[in-house]
Amino acid sequence: MSLTSHSDCSQIETPLLETLWDCANKTHTAFYTPGHKRGKGISPQLATYFGKGVFRCDLPELTPLDNLLSPTGVIQSAQKLASQAFGALHTWFLINGSTCGIEAAILATCGSGEKIILSRNIHSSAVSGLILSGAVPIFVNPEYDPILDITYSITPQRVSEALELYPEAKAVMIVYPTYYGVCGDIHAIAKIAHDYNIPLLVDEAHGAHFAFHQQLPITALSADADLAVQSTHKVLGAMTQASMLHIQGNRIDRDRVNKALQLLQSTSPSYLLLASLDAARQQMAIHGEELMSHTLQLARQAKIRINKIPKLSVLEVPNPPSLGFAALDKTRLTVNVEKLGLTGFTAEEILDKQLGIICEFASIKNLTFIISLGNTQEDINHLVEALSALAQEHWQLTGQDSIGYSCKYPISKDVSNSMLLLPREAFFSNTEILPIDSEKLCDRICAEIICPYPPGIPVLVPGELVSYEALIYLQQIKQMGGFISGYADTSANTIKVVKS
Let me know: does 365 contact 336? Beta carbons within 8 Å.
yes
Let me know: does 105 contact 229? Beta carbons within 8 Å.
yes
CATH number given to 287-398: 3.90.1150.10
Nearest Cα to Cα of residue 57 among 370, 273, 307: 273
CATH class for the domain made up of 67-286 = alpha beta
The residue ranges of every structural domain in the chain are: 30-60, 67-286, 287-398, 418-498
Nearest Cα to Cα of residue 273 among 234, 235, 233: 233
pLDDT (tens digit, 9 = 90+) per residue, 247-300? 999 999 999 999 999 999 999 999 999 999 999 999 999 999 999 999 999 999
pLDDT (tens digit, 9 = 90+) per residue, 43-97? 999 999 999 899 999 999 999 999 999 999 999 999 999 999 999 999 999 999 9
pLDDT (tens digit, 9 = 90+) per residue, 218-239? 999 999 999 999 999 999 999 9
pTM above the 0.75 mark? Answer: yes
Cα gap 244→133, rounded to integer Å: 21
CATH number given to 418-498: 3.90.100.10
Nearest Cα to Cα of residue 344 among 416, 283, 403: 403
Question: Max CA-CA distance within the chain?
Answer: 69
Residue 494, H or E segment: strand 494-498
E-state strands within 282-360: 313-314, 327-328, 332-336
Span 316-340, average pLDDT: 93
Q: How far is CA 337 from the centre of its chain?
A: 24
pLDDT (tens digit, 9 = 90+) per residue, 384-423? 999 999 999 876 555 555 555 555 555 544 555 568 899 9
Cα gap 272→182, rounded to integer Å: 32
Helix axes 377-398, 271-307, angle to 10 degrees: 50
Sign, Cα dihedral of 100, 187, 455, 88: negative
Write out the DSSP string of 123-141: -HHHHHHHHHHT-EEEEEP
Beta-sheet strand order (sheet of 361-362): 313-314, 332-336, 366-370, 361-362
Question: Which pLDDT value is given to residue 7?
Answer: 40
- Asked whether residue 345 carries a pLDDT value surpassing 60, the answer given is yes
Let me know: does 453 contact 485? Beta carbons within 8 Å.
yes
